[in-house]
Amino acid sequence: MGRLLTASIVTLGLLVGMIASLILAILMTMDAISLPFTIAATIVISVLIWLLSPWLLDLSLSWINGMKFLSDQELETRHPHVHRMLHEVAREFAFTPARVGIIADRNPTAFTYGRGRGNARIVLTEGIFEFLDEDETRAVVAHELGHIVHRDFIVMTIAGCLVQILYQIYVHTTKRNRGSSDKKNSLAGVGFAALVFYWIGQYLLLYLSRTREYMADAFAASRTSPGHLASALVKVAYGIAKVEDSDSTAQLLRSTRHMGLIDVKNAHSVGLMASTGEGPDGPDGPCDRYGKPVHKPTPIPAEAMLFDGYNPWAWFAELNSTHPLTGKRILALGEMAKAAGKPFQMDIAGAARRAGVDKGELWPHFLKEAAIYFAPYLVALLTVLAGYWYLALATGAATVIATLFLRYPMGEPKPTTVMALMSDPRASPVIGRPVRLEGTAIGRADAGSFVGEDLVMRDASGFTTLDFRSMFGVIGDLLSGWLRVKNHIGETGRATGWFRRGMLGHVILSRLETKAGVLSAVPYFWQVLLSLAAIAGTAVFVLAGGAELAREVPWDVLAKP
């Protein structure tokens, strides 16, 4: 907890330091009379948003999603375990118990919002009570209470305001870039620095959000059990993957993605793994003592979380996410359970030892794959720096073609299973692994679309997405999704392609064979076509004398103000 708190303080300190340094630089280069007013206005707007947003969210969730707040007595009668948790924490930290809102949605999700400890709301969907048992529900509520106790509403508002001020400084310096040449150069440098700091600030803001999630997990683990929260994370992901979305449920998940218990994108990957071998549910399935259907997702092997916990690409996979990857959170919860001497089923660290996973071994693979991914951009940049800017597009395109055989290896596809692919800690989002899967195409990846071209395949071990990429581009995808893909839904067959792993695991489809026929694709066709067009266009330009004309242009003179 101390390390996470320190990380939050350091992140906020970095943002404050960036702003302070830029303000000082501006004050030294010009008399920025309106800058304080701009900063003050940004702060006032942020404060107003902080004050009004809970009320606006109340209206929005009530109107669009049908949220209803439970009275304290209703909560105690319907969900006494939640009521006890709320009042225990409120008494300990001396604040008014959070109001609890319920949304009639089977997708299990939970989130909190408010102005501070005494003004907080916790929203739970009916899916939380459908898919989670009492201990897991208490762990989820404790996680949301962790956000309230740590005053995350205020922390994230301050951090967001600081990032906005960085952008205001950038805009201000670009508009005030007048006067002597020296002052112009100085302000241009400050403005560029402000823009760079703003970009960095966006990622620091996301990092801060992930840090607060870890802190809330730690709080929940201290109030309940790390194992209960870990199983809750898996069941929430399972429920999100299992429940068929309507327009309203999809809107709820998207709009509350940054506030929810788990990132929706990562939830689908984890949830699909947990769905394999699930127990029966519904009116004909087993029920608990309250008559509630019992959902029994398959316990996910710890090996399936090794990518999240140890592969360097996992850091990039969550870079644009407000939440850590689920595997990382479960790994951290496992460490908490070990430190507290509590039982914990999903031992990812133990799975890493059994599989012989070595972070030092994974880094060379990562560097090689990163070099392949960025090679076209680096080659094009070096061409520009060498003075041959008119050849940059062609050299970059040539590098794309040269690295295709690395990103799409042409070896014989090896038979495998979904769980084996997801359990590979060395899986890559760059270099595809030639694979062959036997299973059933159970539906479209985008269940609400009648032109969705991607399919979900289920084998005996799990589910994965078959990523279809037509050689005719977007139009080909739409036509195939409309006319061809539907014929394969519900059919058992064989899929071959290249497996890649990022936040989600998927197979880039080369060929799908079922009783409905053959669905084939050439996923790299457009990369080759556009690259050849770029090379041919550059060749025509050079042969027409464009290179000589380009070299004669006095760029140094044109670049002067």
Neighbours of 388 (CB within 10 A): 15
Tokens of 351: 């799975």
Integer Cα distance of 245 and 127 in angstroms:
13
Report the C-alpha gap between 362 and 365 in whole angstroms. 5
- Label the pairing between strands 463-467 and 433-444: unpaired
Q: What is the CA radius of gyration of the chain?
A: 27
Does 144 qualify as catalytic in the annotation?
yes
Specify the residue for token string 């914990």: 344
CA distances 525 to 21, 71, 140, 193, 483, Å, are 49, 60, 46, 40, 21
Quote the CA–CA distance of 481 and 495 in Å, as a whole number: 17
Residue tagged active-site, from 130, 144, 213, 369:
144
DSSP labels, 211-235:
HHHHHHHHHHHHHS-HHHHHHHHHH
Q: What are 520's strand-pairing partners?
A: 511
Q: How far apart are CA 340 and CA 334, in angstroms?
A: 10
Contact 270, 234 (CB under 8 A): yes
What are the C-alpha distances in Å from 167 to residues 22, 43, 162, 208, 551?
A: 11, 13, 9, 19, 37
Instruction: Decide: helix, strand or coil at residue 410.
Output: coil
The conformational region for residue 151 under phi > 0 = left, psi -120 to 50 = alpha, else beta, is left
Alpha helix stretches (DSSP H) within 392-461 = 392-407, 418-422
Question: Catalytic residue numbers?
Answer: 144
